[in-house]
């Protein structure tokens, strides 16, 4: 019985969230907390899934029914990934059945991109299983299609982080995926304790854009300029300027209405404690904030986040992309 183990990293958005959905660039980094997926070939025509992190255990289905019928929330991303892979490669050897088990080092509540990481792991594992050697871009394209099939919207930056790892300059749909060579990215991550609903937040911002199109488009264009400038500063290892640009980006996110009191408390506490910059990371409404600070201020910034009611999440940035374990 063939067994393959694959892992992919989580992600943190550095700059450019929300604007990235409207074809503006963003900066995203992969974090060292990983999702691991084991795939085994079965002797029965059945798909089995154990994904305890998303409350899906002992899920079973006939292979011919993949992607059809009522699919529980915890199984959707994995099941659609398999369906899309099999649809793309109908000439693959006949498959009797497969069992997939996932285990995440990070909680799905953090907004680290666990769904995208699981999809990327499935595509990579299936590629290995059938000896197809799909390229990173092919894995990205198939994974991004899967994410769109399940949630209907998204830019794909979390998929790119899971596939390529490192820190990337990214434009929606993978139009541009540019790996950045950087010396250091000493991020401090604080979790708000609130799970954000990305799709709802995106819809709220879209409503605002429909009401005030010129104003919101102006904000997106300003974020685009900011990201371009920040990319140069990051490559030059000018972390102080990068932090200042994080602060400006947070101002734009406030204007879009996606920040809240809890996030603001953590962000301002970080800055007062000596961070060069701090902002929310991701859709907003909850999830995480990120701060960048000189090493001698790290402990005071971490304490400030905790005193503001946040939970410090220890992660390293610039992690490796999807890989066979």
Give the active site residues.
Answer: 158
Three-state secondary structure call for residue 126? helix
Within the chain, strands assigned E span 3-15, 26-42, 46-51, 56-62, 97-104, 167-171, 176-180, 187-191, 277-281, 288-292, 311-313, 323-324
Please give the backbone phi and psi of residue 173, each rounded to the nearest 5 degrees, phi first.
Answer: 75, 5
How many of the other CB atoms lie within 10 Å of CB of 175?
Answer: 10
**Do residues 19 and 220 touch, judged by C-beta distance below 8 A?**
yes
How does strand 277-281 pair with strand 288-292? antiparallel
Our measurement of the distance from residue 23's CA atom to the centroid of its chain's CA atoms, rounded to an integer in Å, reads 17
Q: How many whole angstroms separate alpha carbon 13 and alpha carbon 257?
A: 18
Q: Which residues of 147-276 form beta strands (DSSP E)?
A: 167-171, 176-180, 187-191
Angle between helices 157-164 and 114-129 (to 10 degrees): 50
DSSP-assigned beta bridge partners for residue 10: 31
Residue 311 phi, psi dihedral angles, 5° rounding: -115, 125
């Amino acid at each position: 019985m063939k067994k393959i183990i694959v892992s992919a990293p989580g992600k943190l958005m550095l700059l450019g969230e929300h604007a990235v959905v409207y074809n503006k660039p963003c900066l995203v980094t992969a974090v060292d907390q990983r999702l691991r997926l084991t795939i085994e070939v079965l002797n029965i025509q059945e798909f089995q899934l154990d994904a305890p992190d998303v409350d899906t255990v002992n899920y079973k289905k006939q292979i011919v029914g993949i992607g059809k019928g009522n699919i529980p929330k915890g199984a959707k991303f994995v099941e659609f990934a398999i369906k899309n892979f099999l649809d793309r490669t109908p000439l693959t050897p006949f498959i009797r059945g497969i069992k997939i088990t996932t285990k995440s080092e990070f909680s799905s509540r953090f907004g680290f991109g666990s769904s995208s990481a699981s999809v990327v792991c499935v595509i990579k594992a299936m590629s290995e299983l059938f000896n197809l050697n799909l390229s990173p871009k092919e894995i990205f394209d198939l994974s991004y299609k899967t994410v769109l099939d399940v949630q209907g919207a998204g830019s794909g930056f979390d998929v790119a982080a899971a596939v390529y790892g490192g820190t990337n300059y990214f434009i929606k749909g993978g139009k541009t995926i540019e790996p950045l060579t950087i010396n250091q990215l000493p991020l401090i991550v604080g979790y708000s304790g609130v799970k954000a609903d990305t799709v709802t937040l995106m819809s709220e911002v879209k409503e605002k854009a429909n009401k005030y199109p010129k104003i919101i488009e102006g904000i997106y264009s300003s974020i685009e300029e900011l990201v371009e400038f920040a990319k140069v500063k990051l490559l030059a290892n000018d972390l102080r300027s990068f932090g200042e640009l994080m602060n400006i980006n947070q101002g734009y996110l406030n204007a879009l209405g996606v920040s809240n009191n809890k996030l603001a408390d953590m962000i301002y506490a970080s800055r007062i404690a000596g961070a060069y910059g701090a902002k929310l990371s991701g859709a907003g409404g909850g999830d995480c904030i990120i701060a960048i600070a000189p090493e001698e201020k790290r402990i005071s910034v971490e304490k400030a986040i905790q005193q503001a009611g946040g939970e410090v999440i220890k992660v390293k940035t610039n992690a490796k992309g999807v890989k066979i374990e």
